[in-house]
Amino acid sequence: MSNLVIRQASEEDIDLLPELMYELDRFHHESRPEEYRTPEAMHNERVKRNIFDHYRSGKFVVFLAHVDQKLAGMVSGQIKEMNSITTWPKTVGFINELVVLPEYRGSEAATELMSTIETYFSEQGATDIGLNVSSFNDRAQGLYKKLGYDYDSHLMVKKAV
């Protein structure tokens, strides 16, 4: 691969996120238009719900990938303290989204972004790392399997009659 650089996003970088999220939103909408809003509608909801403020405040950590100084992708996540009735308390690094622009898919950008956030979570005391992936996203599921992720539970849904 060309010159791949992964770095933690600064507050000034947050304005780059909508471009990347558009790609993720487009993929979801095109895969299941009956279920997912349009990318524009999703962006409007993020703005309405002040989601980008979570990135600016540091509640979410973001790492950006650049290839030859061009934006190629991002991964974001957060640390969560899990203390349910059924499981032992633990600190989990939860990946919110992983996005790689189409022209950089198949490169090492996604793998390096994941490695970077996994290291970050470990350094923050996470004992587990979790994420959600859509059932129709075969490519992402393949990547996560390759990286050692396995299914912990399956959410099953059906339309109400």
The reported pLDDT for the residue numbered 106 is: 86
Q: Give the whole-angstrom CA distance, residue 107 versus residue 130.
A: 23
| 1: pLDDT strictly greater than 70 | no
pLDDT band, residue 146 (cuts 50/70/90): very high
pLDDT band, residue 101 (cuts 50/70/90): very high
Element (H, E) at 121: helix 109-123
The reported pLDDT for the residue numbered 66 is: 97
55-64 mean pLDDT? 94
Q: What is the model's pTM?
A: 0.93
The reported pLDDT for the residue numbered 2 is: 76
Q: Tell which residue, 99, 64, 57, 107, has the closest CA to residue 78.
A: 57
pLDDT band, residue 134 (cuts 50/70/90): very high
The reported pLDDT for the residue numbered 49 is: 95
| 160: pLDDT strictly greater than 60 | yes
For residue 21, give the 3-state DSSP assignment.
helix
124-131 mean pLDDT? 97
145-153 mean pLDDT? 94
Q: Give the whole-angstrom CA distance, residue 68 versus residue 5.
A: 8
130-157 mean pLDDT? 93
Could you tell me the fold of the domain covering 4-146?
Aminopeptidase (3.40.630)
Query: For the chain, what percent of residues have pLDDT higher than 90?
Result: 91
The reported pLDDT for the residue numbered 74 is: 98
Question: For the chain, which residues make up each domain, given as ranges?
Answer: 4-146
- The CA-based dihedral angle spanning residues 20, 23, 26, 28, taken in that order and rounded to the nearest 10 degrees: -90
